[in-house]
Homo-oligomer: A and B are copies of this chain.
Amino acid sequence: MLAAFSTETSDAVRKTLEFVRHHRLAKGDRLPSERDLSERFGVTRGSVREALAVLDAMRITERKPKSGIYLRNALEDSGLDALVLQADLGLPFDAQVTRDVTEARILCEEQAFRLACQRRTDADLAKLHQLLDTYAALVANGSNLADEDVAFHLAVVAASQNRVLVRTLTPLMLMSTGWRRRYFASAEIRQRSLIDHRAFVAAIAARDEATATMLVHRHVQTAAEDVRALAEQGAADRTD
């Protein structure tokens, strides 16, 4: 479902990030050469170069021709998409990042929902109702609606008529795909989520900004707390 690139490249990216972490490299520090890394990781130099191209694009590393590979930013200071990448690679987040993502999501969605109330078109509303129907159908037959949940939230944000907000929220949601999947394993939660989503659409239809922002705030906050509970429970019975 995730990790778009090949296993070797994916490995190289992950191992490079782990290398940076393990050696506690700081901004400006130099990484081993491509040839060196390819030996360490047991992959071709080509794969290492693909990985470095990705890390460069994420503004994590910088390749200086004829010189070396340097850390451009601390891992904490790269972009949002780097977090998605990290999640896709199966690298863990610390609690700080998890909290910050939740807060950022709330702030972002509150504003987006507010704008959606102001600017949503009838077409937006129709789209939301359609997604709601799909959602209800999936809840009925017990499907895991992790993807549909993302699609729904993004559709609401899209109703704000600001595509950059959509681009902002996308990584904020994608980086927690793994948790969302486990979260929606519960039938009770699926049911509760449907109710919340219905309320969203009602508020946006009525252009009721106060209710809409309040609802989404509570929705995301509650979900985050549930996920945290899931995580602690998961940490308890780690039998796998």
Residues of A bordering B, CB below 8 Å: 4-6, 9, 46, 49-51, 53-54, 56-59, 61-63, 65, 72, 76-85, 96-97, 100-101, 103-104, 107-108, 111, 162-168, 170-172, 174
Chain B nearest CB, measured from A42 CB (Å): 18
Q: A104-B165, A162-B103, A164-B100 are in contact. Are A4 and B79 (CB under 8 A)?
A: no
Chain B nearest CB, measured from A160 CB (Å): 9
30 A-B pairs with CB atoms under 8 Å apart are A4-B57, A4-B63, A4-B72, A5-B57, A5-B63, A6-B63, A49-B50, A51-B53, A54-B54, A54-B57, A57-B57, A57-B58, A57-B81, A58-B81, A76-B163, A79-B81, A79-B167, A80-B167, A80-B171, A81-B81, A97-B163, A100-B162, A100-B163, A100-B164, A101-B164, A103-B165, A107-B108, A107-B165, A108-B108, A164-B172
How many angstroms between the C-alpha atoms of A59 and B81 in the bound complex?
9
How many angstroms between the C-alpha atoms of A97 and B62 in the bound complex?
27
Q: Nearest B residue to A162 by beta-carbon distance?
A: B100
Interfacial chain B residues near A58, Cβ < 8 Å: 57, 81
The 7 closest A-B pairs by CB, nearest first: A4-B56, A100-B164, A50-B53, A81-B81, A104-B164, A79-B81, A54-B57
Q: Nearest B residue to A106 by beta-carbon distance?
A: B111
| B49 near A168: Cβ-Cβ < 8 Å | no
Interfacial chain B residues near A59, Cβ < 8 Å: 4, 81, 84, 174
How many angstroms between the C-alpha atoms of A100 and B61 in the bound complex?
29
Q: Nearest B residue to A5 by beta-carbon distance?
A: B56
How many angstroms between the C-alpha atoms of A169 and B49 in the bound complex?
28
